[in-house]
Chains A and B, each alone.
Chain A
Amino acid sequence: MSGLGNITKKEIRELLTPATFVPIILVALIFATMGNSIQGIQEQSQTPPTIGVINEDNSTFGAIASTILHDHAKVIYNSTSSSDKQVALETLKEKNGVALIIIPQNFTERIRHEQPGNIEVYWIMKGAGLMDTLSSSMFESLIVYINTNISKELIQENTSIHNASFVLSPTKRSETTYFKNREFQGLSPSTISGMLSSQTMLIPIVMMMIIIMAGSIVITSMALEKENKTLETLLTLPVKRTSIVTGKIVAAAIIGLLLAIIYMIGMQFYFSGFQFSGGVNFAAYGLVITSMDFIWIGVSLFITLIAGLSLCMLMGTFAKNYKSAQTLTFPITMLAMIPMFITMFADFDTLPLALKIFTFAIPFSHPMMAPRALLFHDYTLVIGGIVYVAIFAMVTISIVVWVFKTDRLLIGTTKFKWMKKIIRRRF
C-alpha cells in the first residue's frame, strides 16, 4: 500500500466514529423537520390573500379598486354598506382572512375634487413573525396597485387636475390592525411586527450566545478532565457527585452571564442605531414590559441557562478529549439557533402544531418567546415554559449525576460495537 493510501486509510478509521456522525445526523433531522414546516407556511403565504370588501362607491374609481381586489385576492365577504363592517370582520376572523377593505361612498368624488380618496383597511394580524406578515405584505402591494391604476385612469381621462403629485398619488390609507384581541389604530401589521422585533430581538440573540459560549465551557471542561487525567482523582475525593455536577454548571453559568453582560452592552448600542418605532408610543397601546415582567424574563433566562448547561454537561460525559468536545458543541449550538430563527420568522401562536411542539420542547425557545408573550400578557406561555424548563433541567441533572455514579464516565460506553466492527472489517 502506498504512503498516501496508508495515511488516508488510518485517518478515515480515526474519523469514522459515532461522535463524528451522530451530531450531524441529528442536525440533518432537525433541518428536515424545520424545512417541512416552513414550507407549509410559505405555501400558505403564496396563495392569494383572503379579504373582505365593502364598496360603497359605485363610481369609476370605486369600481377600479373593487375589480383589482376581486381579480387579485380571494374575496370571501362582499358588501356595499359599511354598516356590515362588524359582520365582515367576524367572518374574516373565522375564515382566516387578512384584511377588510372599505371604499367609502365619496371615494371617486373626493378624487375628482383633488382630495385623496380614502381606503380604509382593517388588518387581522395573526402573528408578529416575518412569515406571518407575508400575506399582509402581499396585500399592501395590491393597494399600491390600486393607486397606480387610478393614476393611469386620471391621466387617460385627461382631467382638469394639474397637480402632478396628486395624480401620481390619488389615494390615502387609514389603517387599523387587530392583533391578539387588541386594536391598533393607525398601525399596519408590518409596522407592529417591526416594532416588536426591535423590542424583543435582543434576548434571543443574547440567549443563543450565552448557550453557545457557556455550553462550550462545560463540554470542554469535561473533555479536559478526561484528557488531562484529572477526573479519576476528582471522583475519589470526598465530594458528592451532585456537587461536582452543580459546581461545574454554576461556574459555567456565572462565566456565561458575565460574557452575556459584555455582549449585551455591545448589542444594545448596535440595536439602538436600528430601532424603529415609527414615532408610535407602544405604551399607548398597553404594550409595556413591566418590572415584574423583567423578573419573569430573568427567571426564564436563568432556568434555561441551567437546563442548557446541564444538557451540555450530559454531552460532555460523552467527550473523550478536546477534539470530540468541539464536535459535541455543534448540536447544542444548533438547538440554540433554531428557536432564535423560529421566533424571528414566525409567531409561536401561528406555527403548525408539529413545529409548535418542537419549538416548545427546545428549552432555549422559552426565554426567546417570553418578552413578546409578556408584552401581550400571555403569562400561560411564560410560566408554562418556566415550569417545563425547570423539569427538563431537573431530569437532565439527575441523568448527569447518575452517569457520574456509573462506570460509564470512566470506561466509556460499550455500545456502538456493531459500528466499530463494520469499520474494522471495511478498513
Chain B
Amino acid sequence: MPAVEVKNLVKKYGSIDAVKGISFSIDAGEIFGLIGPNGAGKTTALRVLSTLLSINGGSVTILGYDLSKQAGEIRKLISYLPEDAGAYKNLSGRAYLQFIANFFDPKEVAAMVQKGIEITDLGARIDDRVDTYSKGMMRRLLVGRALMTNPKLAILDEPTSGLDVINAQEIRKLIKTTAQKGTTVLLSSHNMLEVEYLCDRIALISDGKIVEEGKPKALMEKYKARNIEEVFIRTVHE
C-alpha cells in the first residue's frame, strides 16, 4: 500500500482552479519531489496534503487515512514545513522545540527536543530568543522542528530556502538519512540540483496539472537531457 495516494485532486480558490485533477502516489520511505514553476499549484497541493485546505474534488489517502474524513489522524503522523514558515519570536529556540514536542507522546518529548537541537545545530544560540536568529538559523530551527517528531510523512516546501550552500547540503543529507530510516518525504523545490540529488521520483507540475512523472534518471534519458533543469524546461515550455 502506498504511503500517499492522490487521485484526481481538484482545488479551487473561488473561481480560480489552482489544482486541476492531479494524481500520483508515493511509496513508504520514498522521497518524492513536486517540481514546477511559480503558481503551478505545488504549494496548494502540499497544503492540501498537510490537512490545511479542503479539497473540491478527487481523493487523497495518507498512510491509510482518508484526508477528507480523518484529518485528525493524519496530523498525528505527518510534519509540514511551509516555505515561508516562522516561529514564535518571544520564545527561545529550545522553548519553541519544546512547545511543538508537547503536542506528541509525553514519553518522547525529551528525546524529540534533543533530536531537534541536534538537527538545528545552533549550539549555545538555541537558548536565545528566536527574533535574534538570522534567516538561515531560523530555517534550520524549522527543519529541526519538522523532522524531530519522527513523522511517517514529512511534507517539505522548499526545505533549503534561505540557507547557504553548506547549510543546504547538510539539510539535504539529513532529509536523505531521515528517508532511509523509513520516513516518506514529499518535497517541492526550485533547486534542480537538489531535486536530482534527493528525489527517488519526481512529478513536474504546470498550470495545476502533472505533465510528467518518473525517476530523475529515466526522465533525463527520455528527454535526452543532461539534467533535470532541461527536462523541466522542455516539459513546461515545449
Please list the residues of chain A having a beta carbon within 8 angstroms of any beta carbon in chain B: 228-230, 232-233, 235-240, 406-407, 410-411, 414
A-contact 0/1 string along B13-51, CB 8 Å cutoff = 110000000000000000000000000000000010011
| Known contacts A235-B52, A238-B75, A407-B54, A229 near B82 by CB under 8 Å | yes
Known contacts being A232-B80, A236-B78, is A411 close to B13, with CB within 8 Å?
yes
Q: Is there contact, CB below 8 Å, between A236 and B50?
A: yes
Known: A230-B87, A230-B88. A236 touches B80 (CB 8 A): yes
Q: What are some 30 contacts across the A-B interface (CB < 8 A)?
A: A228-B87, A229-B82, A229-B85, A229-B86, A230-B85, A230-B87, A230-B88, A232-B50, A232-B52, A232-B85, A233-B82, A233-B142, A233-B145, A235-B51, A235-B52, A236-B51, A236-B75, A236-B78, A236-B80, A237-B75, A237-B100, A237-B103, A238-B76, A238-B104, A239-B75, A240-B72, A406-B54, A411-B13, A411-B53, A414-B13
Docked-complex contact A233 and B85, CB < 8 angstroms? yes
Chain A residues lying within 8 Å of B53, measured Cβ to Cβ, are 407, 410-411
Known: A236-B75, A240-B72. A410 touches B85 (CB 8 A): no
Q: B residues within 8 A CB of A233? A: 80-82, 85, 100, 142, 145
Q: Is the interface of B mostly helix, strand, loop or mixed?
A: loop
* Residues on B with beta carbons closer than 8 Å to the beta carbon of A411: 13, 53
Binding site for A on B (CB under 8 A): 13-14, 47, 50-54, 72, 75-76, 78-82, 84-89, 100, 103-104, 142, 145
* Residues on the B chain within 8 Å of A232, using CB: 47, 50, 52, 80, 82, 85
Residues of chain A within 8 A of B80, CB atoms compared: 232-233, 236
- A residues less than 8 Å from B14 (CB atoms): 414
**Docked complex Cα distance between A229 and B79 (Å):** 16
> A230-B85, A233-B100, A236-B78 given. 13 additional CB < 8 A pairs?
A228-B87, A228-B88, A230-B87, A230-B88, A233-B81, A233-B145, A236-B51, A236-B79, A237-B75, A237-B103, A238-B75, A410-B52, A411-B53
Instruction: Tell me, rounded to whole Å, the shortest Cβ–Cβ distance linking B128 to chain A.
Output: 17
In the assembly, what is the distance between CA of A160 and CA of B142, in Å?
99
Q: Which residues of A contact B88 (CB under 8 A)?
A: 228, 230
Q: Which of A240, A406, A411 has the most CB of B within 10 A?
A: A411
Report chain A residues within 8 Å CB of B52.
232, 235-236, 407, 410
A78: shortest Cβ distance to chain B, in Å?
Answer: 74
Chain B residues whose C-beta falls within 8 Å of the C-beta of A228 in the assembled complex: 86-89
**Which residue of B has the minimal Cβ distance to A239?**
B103
Q: For A230, A232, A239, A414, which residue has the most chain B Cβ atoms within 10 angstroms?
A: A232
Complex alpha-carbon distance, A236 and B153, angstroms: 12
Collect the chain B residues with CB atoms within 8 Å of residue A406's CB: 54
A238 and B65 CA atoms in complex are apart in Å by: 14
Residues of B within 8 A of A410 (CB): 47, 52-53
B145 to chain A, nearest CB (A): 8
- Give chain A nearest CB distance to B50 CB in angstroms: 5
When C-beta atoms are compared, the residue in chain B nearest to A241 turns out to be: B72
Residue of B nearest to A232 (CB): B82
A238 to B88, CA, bound (A): 18
With both beta carbons as reference points, the residue of chain B lying nearest to A240 in the complex is identified as B72
- Nearest CB to that of B73 among chain A residues? A238
CA distance A239 to B99 in the complex (A): 12
Name which residue of chain B comes closest to A233, CB basis: B85
A233–B84 alpha-carbon span in the complex (Å): 11
In the assembled complex, which residues on chain A have CB atoms less than 8 Å from the CB atom of B86?
228-230
Bound CA span A411–B54, Å: 11
Q: In the complex, A217→B13 CA distance in Å?
A: 31
CB distance from B134 to the nearest CB of A (A): 16
8 nearest A-B pairs in the assembled complex, by CB-CB distance: A229-B86, A414-B14, A228-B86, A236-B80, A238-B76, A238-B75, A232-B82, A237-B103
> A229's closest neighbor in chain B, by CB?
B86
Q: A240–B84 Cα gap in the complex (Å)?
A: 24
Give the Cβ gap from A423 to chain B, nearest Cβ, in Å. 18
CB distance from B216 to the nearest CB of A (A): 28
Contact across chains for B84 and A229 when beta carbons are under 8 A apart = yes
